[in-house]
Amino acid sequence: MALGVSDTCDELIQRGLIISKHNHIGSTFDRRFRCIESDHPMPGSASLRAGHELRIFCQSIPPGREALFCLSGGTSSLVEALPEGMVLADLQKVNQVLLSSGLAINQVNAIRRSFSLIKGGRLGNLLRDCSARVLLISDVPEDDPAVIGSGLLHPSNNTHPPKWPQPLEGLRKRFSMPFPKAYSDIPHQIVANQKMALLAAENRAKELSYKVHLHSDFLEGETGDVAKYLSSYLQHAPIGMHLWGGETVVTLSEKPGRGGRNQHLALQVAVRISGQKNIIFLAAGSDGTDGVTKDAGAMVDGGSCMRGEKTGLNATSMLRRFNAGSFLEASGDLVSTGPTGTNVMDFIMTIKQ
């Protein structure tokens, strides 16, 4: 996003602040830009430092100037400023509970907003007498700007109060804050989302002479339920490439193994299509990462379970231990893209022959 702004607005830019994941800022920017690498998907000390620098940057914008904010998914972890008395260990507990809770992203980010001095539109309080606008890459269903990145500059509508997991009740009573009212009417514009990406994938697949079936239903909920639905559908689905978008959830055990929701989903599907020779199934995160791993997801087929089990592993056992990534590495089915420069949720792509 920063490269795009730099290309189109170069002479207008006075200075900029770029915050992204570790090892995801691959380009060299000139002296006007300060680049900070931060922590994701679990916030860390770098997230607090980045949040501090973001607040200073906003406070120092001269009156009368225009600030352009480019926000995408991942912002919730990358930048944070905590209420008085709350420490990093508290923040990490919140995120550990949320990331393993199985809650939908709108509920997760509603809870994150309540523990933040900058989310839920609160960052807008620091802009003083400058104007601002926001460009967004959406990684949430329905492209709600209050949910993307936990809404740094968009106040929460609070129409759906969060469902608080019991382990967070103590922190909620001590540190959660009421949602603020709107500070100003800062315009927000979606510049990329999952629908755009799926249409691009459809067009590319047609160029490669595939018969394409683009499905409008958004895949969400527990991976086990989604795997059951997809596996059943594919048994009678027409030949060609099938495309879905979505973002599933996994309710983890206390000490999960290696993997992410896409790897877990892919292995669950692999178990269900084991022995079939006419289905290839891909589940991947559009940002190039899946869970706390460097892999984007996995591409499995009817031989995946057999290949993995030849190494002495059992697919069902590894799923129970939430260790799909280790099995998929053994079966040779992990997909590693590296940083993609975007984040528009997850993709499911299946070829049926």
CATH 3.30.200.20 fits 2-192, yes or no: no
What are the extents of the domains in the chain?
2-192, 194-352
The per-residue pLDDT for 181 is 60
Per-residue pLDDT of 276-317, as tens digits, reads 999 999 999 999 999 989 999 999 999 999 999 999 999 999
Pairing of the two strands 279-285 and 297-301? antiparallel
Give Dmax (Cα) for the chain: 66
Question: Is the distance from CB of 112 to CB of 96 less than 8 angstroms?
Answer: no
Distances (CA, A) of 33 to 16, 122, 301, 304: 5, 24, 45, 46
Long-range Cβ pairs for the range 170-175 (8 Å, 24+): 171/86, 171/90, 171/93, 171/94, 171/115, 172/114, 174/85, 174/86, 175/82, 175/83, 175/85, 175/86, 175/90, 175/115
The Cβ of residue 256 has, within 10 Å, a number of other Cβ atoms equal to 17
User: Would you state the torsion angle of the CA atoms of residues 68, 70, 74, 77, taken in this order, to the nearest 10 degrees?
Assistant: -10
The per-residue pLDDT for 163 is 83
Please give the average per-residue pLDDT across 155-170, as a whole number: 81
Question: Is the distance from CB of 297 to CB of 326 less than 8 angstroms?
Answer: no
Nearest to 348 by CA among 278, 292, 276, 300: 300
Structure tokens that stand for 167 in this block: 């382990």
Superfamily of domain 194-352 in the CATH hierarchy: MOFRL domain (3.40.1480.10)
Percent of the chain surpassing pLDDT 90: 85
Q: What are the helix and strand counts (H, E) for the chain?
A: 12, 11
The per-residue pLDDT for 158 is 64
3-class SS letters over 12-23:
HCCCEEEEEECC
The per-residue pLDDT for 232 is 97
The per-residue pLDDT for 185 is 79
Q: Which residue has the tokens 């523990």?
A: 115
Indicate the angle between helix axes 223-236 and 261-272, nearest 10 degrees.
40
For the chain, list the strands marked E by DSSP. 16-21, 33-38, 66-71, 131-137, 188-192, 212-222, 240-249, 279-285, 297-301, 334-335, 346-352
The per-residue pLDDT for 269 is 98
Separation of alpha carbons 71 and 136, rounded Å: 5
pLDDT at residue 112 above 70? yes
Q: Which of 55-64, 98-107, 274-283, 297-306 shows the lowest per-residue confidence on average (mean pLDDT)?
A: 98-107
Q: Which helix (H) or strand (E) holds 129?
A: none
Separation of alpha carbons 261 and 253, rounded Å: 13
Sign of the alpha-carbon torsion through 328, 331, 333, 336: positive
Per-residue pLDDT of 191-233, as tens digits, reads 999 999 999 999 999 999 999 999 999 999 999 999 999 999 9
Pairing of the two strands 346-352 and 240-249? antiparallel
Q: Which residue has the tokens 């922590």?
A: 39
Please give the average per-residue pLDDT across 328-342, as a whole number: 95
The per-residue pLDDT for 64 is 92
Question: Is the distance from CB of 230 to CB of 236 less than 8 angstroms?
Answer: no
Q: How much is the mean pLDDT over the chain?
A: 94
In degrees, to the nearest 5, what angle opens at C-alpha 227 toward C-alphas 272 and 243?
110
Percent of the chain surpassing pLDDT 70: 97
User: Which three-class secondary structure state does DSSP give residue 77?
Assistant: helix
pLDDT band with cut points at 50, 70 and 90 for residue 159: low
